[in-house]
Chains A and B, each alone.
Chain A
Amino acid sequence: MTPVVLLPLPIILPFFTAVLAFLFRRGAEGKWISVIGSALTLVAGIFLLADVLTNGPQAAQMGNWPAPFGITLVADTLSAIMVVITGITALAVSIYAVSDVTRNMEELGYHALFQVLIAGVVGAFLTGDLFNLYVWFEVMLISSFGLLVLGGKRVQLDAGIKYVTLNLISTILFLSGIGLLYGTTGTLNLADLHYAVQDADPGLITVIATMFMVGFGVKAAVFPLFFWLPASYHTPSFAVSAVFAGLLTKVGVYALMRMFTLVFTQDVGFTHTLLLWVAVLTMVTGVLGAAAQTDFRRILSFHIVSQIGYMVLGLALLTPLAVMGAVFYLVHHIVVKANLFLVAGVANRIAGGTEIEHIGGLYKGAPFLAFLFLIPAFSLAGFPPLSGFWAKYVLVKASLDLELWLVAFAALAVGLMTIYSMTKIWGRAFWKPHPNGTVPTLASLPSGERMALLLPIIGLAIITIIVGLFPEPFVQVATLAANELLDPTPYLTAVLGERP
């Protein structure tokens, strides 16, 4: 398939699925349409990754307007990896949703919103145009607003107001940044911007870079801009919070990685040092926040914040090893985090809540679920031989190579603190007997629903184990992605053609 077909395909498929799912929202077909659509998106993503790995970065000019005038879709290794991982998450969550999402939410258009969200996420990963990136952010944002408040429980409205308002502020900063950048350089094509910022006044570009950093920083939930995340991620249905936890903040991280390797590299001493301290503070504050919580999902929400710090750390160090670590971490984290939220959903179903003081006995009644919780939980904390170990190992090694002892110490200490709050969940929700004396079991779920809930969890856990046991091919691909980020010549050539 040519790039002009292959690149838009993972964006068009979810949109198409969304339309179909909306038409069939009153029937039982809606959820299956969503599952099939997600599977097709994943397949399209795999084809794209295979193509990028054999032929290098691919670009497609939409409407045949040559770059930098038209909108370009670009897939380098990082984008293609992200599309595949989005497909995996979408598939897992849409299978989970078969059982988790209520009839009422389906009729309100849950599946359509979910697929539009996926389209927005994939679009943000594939676009090579700054204003187009803004549009994809908005597509993603408006569907996430819908998903967050769908069902209309009071706690959701409360969370929704905070989520919506703070995200709108970040959007406006991003938009003003685009305006100023266009005014300064006269282009919006990311590849073209790479050259254009080199001729512009570096001081001015640094100011604009800071606006982008704050705008994307809110989306990525870095310190001190993360407050909307733990205020909202624990309120919607579990399928929704799993896909939010897996994908949404990571789009912010991706945007940071793209902009601060391809465009804003004129003053690394300022921007990336700032990012470094932001990263360290994000790791530490996130994990401290988690230690203070007693709700299953709120603990996990604060962990997201803390883990985002690791990814930003990799970007901030800007060595090949560190960026490779950030890419690896990004992929590992999406799988693990989505999985933990899915486990929380099952725990809620069989034990009747997510407040860990009020539930218990899961280890006794559902040892299989306990086992499935341990895999992503240990991976998140960085136990060998799971995927998180390699992700953390690479980042710590990268900071030691640069002799940033304090940073390496923080990264290791945060891993230890992650274990602390994971043992809190383990001790209270799994080991302690249930306060009302019952023993929650998986057998209490109807067998069809049990399948739909456990299948995605098992699948994601297997991915975690495979990445952990055989990291070599994944590290190779991540290295390739990192090299392309640090030396964007193939990306630039794919978009703009050969330049003298």
Chain B
Amino acid sequence: MELFIPLMVGAMVAAAVYLMLARNVLRFLFGLILISNAANLVIFASGGLTPEAPPLVALGETLPPEGVANALPQALVLTAIVIGFGLFAFALVLVYRGYQNLGTLYSDEMRLAEPEEHK
């Protein structure tokens, strides 16, 4: 499990970077979704992954038994997923509005804010 996750993260980051290098902003956004999920997996894996036991503390004890996964990163991932979802919803709508108003999805045709030099 722990070996599999880093490989998967690597593959996702590679695919995401490939997508993000595209001139098409929509492809860029898809890349962003992939890479942010890769980041979530990094956090997820940082607590340790094990099928051994649930992270429950027995009655009368103060510590869970040895070998359980740390549950905190899983809570962090939930937060990160929710925040990420909100940001992507916004970014997607923004790109859609941009497409409607600017008439293009290609980043190098978006030169309104940074007009090219007049010679």
Binding site for B on A (CB under 8 A): 131, 134-135, 138, 141-142, 145-146, 149, 152, 154-155, 157-162, 164-165, 168-169, 171-172, 175-176, 178-180, 182-183, 186, 230-232, 234-235
Distance in angstroms from A87 CB to nearest chain B CB is 26
Residues of A within 8 A of B45 (CB): 179, 183
User: Which residue in chain A gives the minimum CB-CB distance to B79?
Assistant: A135
How many angstroms between the C-alpha atoms of A149 and B94 in the bound complex? 9
How many angstroms between the C-alpha atoms of A261 and B114 in the bound complex? 37
30 examples of A-B residue contacts, CB within 8 angstroms: A131-B79, A135-B83, A142-B90, A157-B94, A157-B97, A157-B98, A157-B102, A158-B98, A158-B110, A160-B98, A161-B94, A161-B95, A162-B110, A164-B90, A168-B87, A169-B35, A171-B87, A175-B80, A178-B76, A179-B42, A179-B44, A179-B73, A182-B43, A182-B47, A182-B72, A182-B76, A230-B114, A231-B113, A232-B113, A235-B113
Distance in angstroms from A494 CB to nearest chain B CB is 23
Number of interface residues, chain B, beta carbon within 8 A: 39
* Beta-carbon contact of B83 and A234 below 8 Å: no
Distance in angstroms from B89 CB to nearest chain A CB is 10
Residues of A within 8 A of B43 (CB): 175-176, 178-179, 182
Given contacts A172-B35, A176-B39, A183-B45, are A145 and B113 in contact (CB under 8 A)? Answer: no
Residues of B within 8 A of A176 (CB): 38-39, 42-43
* Beta-carbon contact of B101 and A157 below 8 Å: yes
Main secondary structure on B side of the interface with A: helix
How many angstroms between the C-alpha atoms of A145 and B88 in the bound complex? 12
* Beta-carbon contact of B39 and A152 below 8 Å: no
Which of B25, B42, B76 interacts with A161 by CB under 8 Å? B25
User: Which residue in chain A gives the minimum CB-CB distance to B109?
Assistant: A158
Residues of A within 8 A of B110 (CB): 158, 161-162
Which of B28, B44, B73 interacts with A165 by CB under 8 Å? B28
Residues of B within 8 A of A168 (CB): 32, 36, 87, 91
Given contacts A131-B79, A179-B46, are A152 and B112 in contact (CB under 8 A)? Answer: no
Residues of B within 8 A of A230 (CB): 114
Residues of A within 8 A of B60 (CB): none
* Beta-carbon contact of B113 and A164 below 8 Å: no
Q: Does B51 contact A (CB under 8 A)?
A: no
Distance in angstroms from B49 CB to nearest chain A CB is 11
Residues of B within 8 A of A234 (CB): 113
Which of A141, A186, A231 interacts with B114 by CB under 8 Å? A231
Instruction: Given contact pairs A152-B101, A165-B91, enumerate 15 new A-B contacts (beta carbons under 8 Å).
Output: A131-B76, A160-B94, A164-B90, A165-B29, A169-B32, A172-B36, A175-B36, A175-B43, A179-B42, A179-B44, A179-B45, A179-B46, A180-B42, A182-B47, A231-B113
| The 10 A-B residue pairs with the shortest CB-CB distance in the complex, in nearest-first order | A183-B46, A179-B43, A179-B42, A159-B113, A158-B112, A176-B39, A175-B39, A158-B113, A157-B98, A155-B112
Which of B28, B42, B79, B87 interacts with A141 by CB under 8 Å? B87
Distance in angstroms from B99 CB to nearest chain A CB is 9
Which of B46, B47, B87, B97 interacts with A142 by CB under 8 Å? B87
* Beta-carbon contact of B102 and A158 below 8 Å: yes
Residues of B within 8 A of A235 (CB): 113
User: Which residue in chain B gives the minimum CB-CB distance to A159?
Assistant: B113
Contact indicator per residue, chain B 77-119, by CB within 8 Å of chain A (1) or not (0) = 0011001001100110011011001100001001111100000
| Segment 3-50 of B: residues with Cβ below 8 Å from A | 20, 25, 28-29, 32, 35-36, 38-40, 42-47
How many angstroms between the C-alpha atoms of A180 and B90 in the bound complex? 27
Q: Give the most central of A138, A230, A231, A234: most B CB within 10 Å.
A: A138
User: Which residue in chain A gives the minimum CB-CB distance to B37?
Assistant: A172
Residues of A within 8 A of B113 (CB): 155, 158-159, 162, 231-232, 234-235
User: Which residue in chain B gives the minimum CB-CB distance to A181?
Assistant: B46
How many angstroms between the C-alpha atoms of A222 and B90 in the bound complex? 26
Residues of A within 8 A of B28 (CB): 165
Distance in angstroms from A124 CB to nearest chain B CB is 14
How many angstroms between the C-alpha atoms of A232 and B110 in the bound complex? 12
Distance in angstroms from A304 CB to nearest chain B CB is 16
Residues of B within 8 A of A169 (CB): 20, 32, 35
Q: Give the most central of A142, A171, A176: most B CB within 10 Å.
A: A176
How many angstroms between the C-alpha atoms of A134 and B91 in the bound complex? 18
Distance in angstroms from A45 CB to nearest chain B CB is 26
How many angstroms between the C-alpha atoms of A179 and B37 in the bound complex? 12
How many angstroms between the C-alpha atoms of A165 and B22 in the bound complex? 13
How many angstroms between the C-alpha atoms of A220 and B107 in the bound complex? 23
Given contacts A182-B43, A231-B114, are A138 and B36 in contact (CB under 8 A)? Answer: no
How many angstroms between the C-alpha atoms of A146 and B93 in the bound complex? 12
Residues of B within 8 A of A138 (CB): 83, 87
How many angstroms between the C-alpha atoms of A162 and B79 in the bound complex? 25
Residues of B within 8 A of A161 (CB): 25, 94-95, 98, 107, 110
Residues of B within 8 A of A178 (CB): 43, 76
Contact indicator per residue, chain B 53-80, by CB within 8 Å of chain A (1) or not (0) = 0000000000000000010110010011
User: Which residue in chain B gives the minimum CB-CB distance to A161?
Assistant: B98
* Beta-carbon contact of A164 and B83 below 8 Å: no
Distance in angstroms from B5 CB to nearest chain A CB is 11
* Beta-carbon contact of B90 and A152 below 8 Å: no
